[in-house]
Structure 1
Amino acid sequence: MPLIVKDYTWTQTETNIYLHVPLKGVKPGNIDIFCTDDYLKVHFPPFLFEAFLSEPIDDDKSSGKIGNGVAVFTLKKKEQRQWEQLVINYDKDTFRQIRERALLKAKKKLATEAKAKATNTQEEKKYALEIMMKLEEEERAKIQKMKDDECEKATAELEAWKVKQRQIAEDEVQQKIQSQMVKIDKQRISEKITTPSSSNGCKIKHVQKNCVPSMSKKKQEYLPAPRSPGNIQIKFTPRVFPTALRESRVPEEEEWLQKQAKARSAVNEDLLELQDLNKEERNPYWLKEKGDKLFVTGNYLAAINAYNLAIKLNRDIPAVYSNRAACHLKLRNFHKAIDDSSQALDLLTPPVAGNACARARAHVRRGTAFCELELYTEGLQDYQAALKIDPQNETLQGDTQKIRQIIQGSAPCLSD
């Protein structure tokens, strides 16, 4: 049963409430704070402070600081005015309803924040993907433009070379024709001087027939020289995953790699811790039996150590989690007891007759932890689940009926 803290102090302004709660020497790491618009709870075992506020506050704009043995809360008023009192005094049923309502508000708020965070994350991923695709499209366009420019440049150079070669060929043909014509002219002049007039016409005609080059021949075609060889450098993006970068989801892959690295680091640490154990201590079932014996003798901390080592060796034994939850119940570590019982129930699937007793024990232990935290609705659900497995158990029937009466207000709370 927790100790209720009543030696708190508070002051106020038109807009804020300043609340000072002494921590009784408890370390800051062991403090659990829960706040809504009309309810504030500070739990630091074995102490508990609850404030059922007389007027609503803005819990999103409120804040708290822990230090020097005191927790200081700055609560933002929704309406700017002086409060007549900090808390209200109701009966236990009203307090229980306020707690349940505060828990529902907190759940709805967490669900809304989680949904908004998921939407924001999805939008960020979508935006990053669009930016990446845009950059890659620009890069492809840039490369294609370089290819087109090089192709146009090579085509222009080839056409210029062809024109030049044709011009050279035409010039050579003209030079040959001119040289032949010069020779013919010289020969005509020499024949006029050296031969008689009677035979002059015949000889000139003979020279013209044999010496003038034929103009019916086609011009010789000139082919361009082959292009010089070259190399294109291709650089690939380094990738851990086999998919292309544009088809991958980089944030998820990096997160997966980080988780893998942490898992490997944890495995290496466990191996260093387990290498000094003897053969029996490396058997998780032997460690479970050792923890059970320590639990029977009342040495709960030593039993938890044995169960912890067994879990490091084998994380798939539901009885180890369930028995460690029983140890946490004895030590009043109720949140840890809830976690271990939930883990045991996750491993006890599918529900069959062979694991019925184990499932019932896990439900009872988790339900007990919920009831110790005054979460009777959740505790009743676990007890009803255990009673459904073992309907003839009279002890379960009595405990279930008692919790139902507490919820209905016809029986005192367990903390009372």
Structure 2
Amino acid sequence: MPLLVTDHSWTQTESMVFISVPLKGAKKVDIVSSDEYLKVHFPPFLLEVFPSELVDDEQSSAKIGNGVAVISLTKRTNKLWEHLSINDKETKREVRERALSKMQEKLAAEAKNRSEKKHNEKKYTLKKMMNIESEEREIIQKMKDEERERTTAELEAWQLKESKKTEEEARLKLQSQSNQLSKVRAVKHKSESDGSGGSKVIFGDEAERKKKQVDLPAPRVAGNIQVSFTPRVFPTALRESLEDWHPTPVSLCSPQWLKKQAEARRVVSADIEELNDLREEERNPDWLKEKGNKCFAAGNYLSALNAYNLAIRLNRKIPALYSNRAACHLKLRNFHKAIEDSSQALELLTPAISANAAARARAHVRRGSAFCQLELYAEGLQDYQTALKIDPSNEALQVDTQKIRDIIQGSAE
């Protein structure tokens, strides 16, 4: 039960009320206020004020310094109060319930606004990225069109040039054949007129072929080309696929598998000298988890904690190890460590699906228990309510949640 603060003081003007609360060395102060309720909580002390008149919560303020919290409340009506707080117990209970209900609604509205703002920011970012990508595609398409037009123009120019060249070669060839035929006729006519024997005539085509044979280049000199292969990332056959969509059930060289193996090697190599002293089964996280469970069931919480610590050093991706270690910390009253391990377990238990519902409920209950042990009942209530949403038929969980509500409302026995 929290200790009620009785040594606070207050002063007023016609428009303001100033409340001074000594913090007694507290490092963390939780202040909750509304138009008709004020709570100052710094464990294990608690101050509740039920103003006799309504105040303006939006214009009120609080300052903390030099071991004192000064709360400034703005009155809705300008007049002096006869007393600071109302004394009727029933009225206090109703005011407290209304204030806590409004606070929960306010927190829910703020969370919704944050979610909507984040969603709108993501939507705006996505729209901007799509516009940028569209502009880039237009630029690329424009470059492609320009390159296509330039290439087409060059091809047409080359085709025209080749056509002219072919026509010119055909014309020259026809002219050469005509000249050769004229020469043959002239030689034949001369031979017939002289009465001499036929002479050997070398036509132009044969002479050109002989000339081309003489002008052929010499064979190229043989040489060697140096080839260097990329070293393998992992000693497996090169025919194995490294893609994520490899059709085999387990690809021993997929990027995910290689990443997990590298991470495991880093963890083991960090403590290789210490791990060399362990037996083969003691290097198995599953065996260590079972050993920790047996020690916990026997009440040997320190041994269970050591087993879970070693298992986590070997594999940091098993949420049950963090959740079980949080249970050990609860038994050993290491509440801050219990909160840390429970939070780590919940982080690993994402996304939230039906298969991990029971594990998530246990982690929420263990973190909520640690919060309550630290007298942070509001935070503990949130974890218990989350666990109750996961397992609404759990009667023990319903009873514990109601007890925390009663403590917060100040009606616990």
After TM superposition, the score normalised by the length of structure 2 is 0.51
* Alignment partner of 1:371 is 2:380: no
| 1:42 aligned residue | 40
What SS does structure 2 have at the residue aligned with 1:28?
coil
Deviations 1:113-133 (A, max 9, x none): 222222212211111111111
CA separation of 1:336 and 1:146: change in aligned 2, threshold 3 A: closer
CA separation of 1:161 and 1:119: change in aligned 2, threshold 3 A: same
Conserved in 1, the CA contact under 8 Å of 2:8 and 2:21? yes
Conserved in 2, the CA contact under 8 Å of 1:281 and 1:287? no
Conserved in 1, the CA contact under 8 Å of 2:96 and 2:409? no
Conserved in 1, the CA contact under 8 Å of 2:50 and 2:85? yes
Conserved in 1, the CA contact under 8 Å of 2:7 and 2:22? yes
Distance 1:176 1:53 in 2: 118
Question: Offset of 1:77 from its aligned partner?
Answer: 5.1
Question: Offset of 1:374 from its aligned partner?
Answer: 2.6
Structure 1: tracts of 5 or more residues without a match: 184-240, 244-263, 293-300, 352-358, 377-412
Residue in structure 1 matching 2:139, options 139, 142, 146? 142
Deviations 1:375-415 (A, max 9, x none): 65xxxxxxxxxxxxxxxxxxxxxxxxxxxxxxxxxxxx84x
What SS does structure 2 have at the residue aligned with 1:290?
coil
What SS does structure 1 have at the residue aligned with 2:84?
coil
| 1:28 aligned residue | 27
Question: Offset of 1:71 from its aligned partner?
Answer: 1.1
Question: Offset of 1:134 from its aligned partner?
Answer: 1.1
Identity, in percent, stands at 38
What SS does structure 2 have at the residue aligned with 1:161?
helix
Structure 2: tracts of 5 or more residues without a match: 181-242, 246-262, 302-327, 346-357
Conserved in 1, the CA contact under 8 Å of 2:57 and 2:74? yes
Q: Which has the larger displacement, 363-372 or 303-312?
A: 303-312
Q: What amino acid is the match of 1:8? A: H
* Alignment partner of 1:286 is 2:295: yes
Question: Offset of 1:15 from its aligned partner?
Answer: 6.5
| 1:117 aligned residue | 114
Deviations 1:34-93 (A, max 9, x none): 1112211012233221222244444345432333211122445556x4554673424111
Distance 1:168 1:327 in 2: 93
Deviations 1:244-286 (A, max 9, x none): xxxxxxxxxxxxxxxxxxxx9xxx8xxx9xx999989952353
Question: Offset of 1:305 from its aligned partner?
Answer: 1.3
Matches within 5 A, 1:35-184: 35-76=33-74, 81=78, 83-84=80-81, 87-167=84-164
Distance 1:7 1:66 in 2: 17
Q: Which has the higher contact order (CA 8 A, sep 6+)?
A: 1
Q: What amino acid is the match of 1:283? A: G
Conserved in 2, the CA contact under 8 Å of 1:345 and 1:362? yes
Conserved in 2, the CA contact under 8 Å of 1:53 and 1:88? yes
Q: Which has the larger displacement, 57-66 or 311-320?
A: 311-320
What SS does structure 1 have at the residue aligned with 2:35?
coil
What SS does structure 2 have at the residue aligned with 1:50?
strand
CA separation of 1:289 and 1:374: change in aligned 2, threshold 3 A: farther
Q: Look at both structures and tell me which one has the larger radius of gyration over its CA atoms.
A: 1
Aligned length: 283
Distance 2:107 2:133 in 1: 38
Conserved in 2, the CA contact under 8 Å of 1:10 and 1:17? yes
| 1:305 aligned residue | 332
| 1:238 aligned residue | none
CA separation of 1:365 and 1:74: change in aligned 2, threshold 3 A: same
Distance 2:368 2:159 in 1: 92
Q: What amino acid is the match of 1:290? A: G
Conserved in 1, the CA contact under 8 Å of 2:369 and 2:380? yes
| 1:393 aligned residue | none
| 1:9 aligned residue | 9
| 1:356 aligned residue | none
Conserved in 2, the CA contact under 8 Å of 1:36 and 1:102? yes
CA separation of 1:332 and 1:152: change in aligned 2, threshold 3 A: closer
Distance 1:96 1:76 in 2: 23
Conserved in 1, the CA contact under 8 Å of 2:338 and 2:370? no
Question: Offset of 1:102 from its aligned partner?
Answer: 0.8
Distance 2:367 2:108 in 1: 30
Aligned Cα root-mean-square deviation (Å): 5.5
Question: Offset of 1:331 from its aligned partner?
Answer: 8.4
Deviations 1:96-127 (A, max 9, x none): 11111111211221222222222212211111
What SS does structure 1 have at the residue aligned with 2:57?
strand
Question: Offset of 1:22 from its aligned partner?
Answer: 0.9
CA separation of 1:304 and 1:70: change in aligned 2, threshold 3 A: farther
Distance 1:129 1:326 in 2: 41
Question: Offset of 1:163 from its aligned partner?
Answer: 3.4
* Alignment partner of 1:19 is 2:28: no
After TM superposition, the score normalised by the length of structure 1 is 0.50
Distance 1:18 1:370 in 2: 30
What SS does structure 1 have at the residue aligned with 2:409?
coil
Conserved in 2, the CA contact under 8 Å of 1:307 and 1:320? no
CA separation of 1:284 and 1:24: change in aligned 2, threshold 3 A: same
Question: Offset of 1:368 from its aligned partner?
Answer: 3.0
Question: Offset of 1:146 from its aligned partner?
Answer: 0.9
Q: What amino acid is the match of 1:71? A: A
Distance 2:154 2:51 in 1: 88
Conserved in 2, the CA contact under 8 Å of 1:23 and 1:44? yes
